Amino acid sequence: MKIHNPATGAVIADVATDGSAAVRAKYQRARAAQGAWAALPIKKRLATIAAFRDRLAAMHEALARTLTEEVGKPIRQARNELTGLAARLDFFLAESQRALRSETVLADVDNKLEERITHEPLGVVANISAWNYPYFVGSNVFVPALVAGNAVLYKPSEYATLTGLHIAQLLHESGVPEDVFVPVIGDGLAGAALLRQPVDGVFFTGSYETGRKIAASAGRRMIKVQLELGGKDPIYVCEDVDVKAAAAAIADGAFYNNGQSCCAVERIYVAAAIHDAFLDAFVDEVRAFRIGDPLDEATYIGPLTRRGQIAVLKRQVADARKLGGRVLTGGHAIDRRGNWFQPTVVADADHRMALMREESFGPVIGIQRVESDDEAVALMNDTPYGLTAGVYTRAEKRAKRILAEIRSGTVYWNCCDRVSPRLPWSGVGHSGIGLTLSTYGIQTFTRPKAWHLRSA
């Protein structure tokens, strides 16, 4: 499989992929190795993750560079991802023992009865991952899965293969046995081959379309399945905000990582009283973004990772124009080698437009005027997705009232495009099932086992 640099189109590596027989052999190795790994004291497994954290820190700059060359993420944002990863590892290192310890829920001395819960590893799990934040979305799964005693068959996205191989190498150097964390290399065919193995769970991050196939396959087999899928995340800007500050924060939420974040702001609703002022401030922010070579320190917008997304964005912009949308800036692909699209702002957007309904996953945003909180809430909920949603206002009660009515896994007040290791990360509707992060996201890689113990 050839790996392309999305900034130039140049081939930067050629890697061997796993066919069905290789995937089967990898599964068998993982199955054979899992029991001994689970039998280790948890402290030993945690020590490998602590060593992994140190190795990542030692390799920080080289890893950031590979990420930039492979997915086109601007170098400063690549470094941010690695720095954020260290904070997530710290969370798992601090919380896993407590989250996984067994618990006595009844100690009835008179009846000599004890009731206990233990957290058993699932066994061998498949971790099929996305390319947009390969360190984040991968580690949310494989770190707690390993700590809980599972063996992991890890399929990085075909667009983040070199990063996936780095992760495997660093984990192995850190003491995770090669048969306990096993990379499976290739595209969707390798992912499908992995799902034909009798794994005990599948943890998937990616698109709704692929997620449906994964869920169907897991459903037939009665195995645990978690799906972290796409979004169409809305922000509502109330009339009482500092317009310039809100515009700056929301523009960053929409365009960071070139809009290729699962929780990127994908649509904006603005109170009528400040609508025009907000548009002006927002467009000023977007026009000031530095577009260019992602290895350049000053670059904020790099190339799109996948070439095919240019056509999706062109279609959304053309459809919006046809239905009365006003393109205030951008609107076209950039004519240079690689996968480039101008940061684009469409005003007078509405829900007839694909731009306001379908995931863009690129540097294109629609803005719609609203007359009331009720109208904003109705529009925010008018989506099959439900990953994140946010409101900008000075009024705390109003914010909480609005956010309580929003159907999504995460809600934000005066912030956006934010993930915390301490909070569960989940979606409703087409955004997925299950969760990662928080202590729930540690326990999710286990099966709670119920013990009824009556002493003689």
Binding site for ligand NAD (CB under 6 A): 128-133, 137, 155, 157-158, 187-188, 191-192, 195, 205-207, 210, 213-214, 228-231, 262, 359, 361, 387, 425, 427, 432
We find the least distance from the C-beta atom of residue 448 to ligand NAD, in angstroms, to be 24
Specify the residue, 37 or 445, whose C-beta has the smaller distance to ligand NAD: 445
Q: Nearer to ligand NAD by C-beta: 403 or 419?
A: 419
Q: Is 81 a catalytic residue?
A: no
Q: Residue 432 Cβ, how far from ligand NAD at the closest point, in Å?
A: 6
Residue (191 or 325) nearer to ligand NAD, CB: 191
Q: Which is nearer to ligand NAD, 241 or 263 (CB)?
A: 263
Q: Which residue is nearest to ligand NAD (CB)?
A: 191
Q: Exactly one of 262, 266, 358, 416 is catalytic; which is it? A: 262
Shortest Cβ 381–ligand NAD spacing (Å): 18
CB of 91 to ligand NAD, least distance (A): 16
Q: What is the 3-state secondary structure (H, E, C) of the chain?
A: CEEECCCCCCEEEECCCCCHHHHHHHHHHHHHHHHHHHHCCHHHHHHHHHHHHHHHHHCHHHHHHHHHHHHCCCHHHHHHHHHHHHHHHHHHHHHHHHHHCCEEEEEECCCCEEEEEEEEECCEEEEECCCCCHHHHHHHHHHHHHHCCCEEEEECCHHHHHHHHHHHHHHHHCCCCCCCEEECCCCHHHHHHHHCCCCCEEEEECCHHHHHHHHHHHHHHCCEEEEECCCCEEEEECCCCCHHHHHHHHHHHHHHHHHCCCCCEEEEEEEHHHHHHHHHHHHHHHHCCCECCCCCCCCCECCCCCCCHHHHHHHHHHHHHHCCCEEEECCCECCCCCCCECCEEEECCCCCCHHHCCCCCCCEEEEEEECCHHHHHHHHCCCCCCCEEEEECCCHHHHHHHHHCCCCCEEEECCCCCCCCCCCEECCHHHEECEECCCHHHHCCEEEEEEEEECC
Q: Is 416 a catalytic residue?
A: no
Shortest Å, Cβ 229 to ligand NAD: 5
Residue (174 or 438) nearer to ligand NAD, CB? 438
Output the smallest distance, CB 284 to ligand NAD, in A: 28
- Residue closer to ligand NAD by CB (options 73, 369) is 73
Catalytic residues: 228, 262
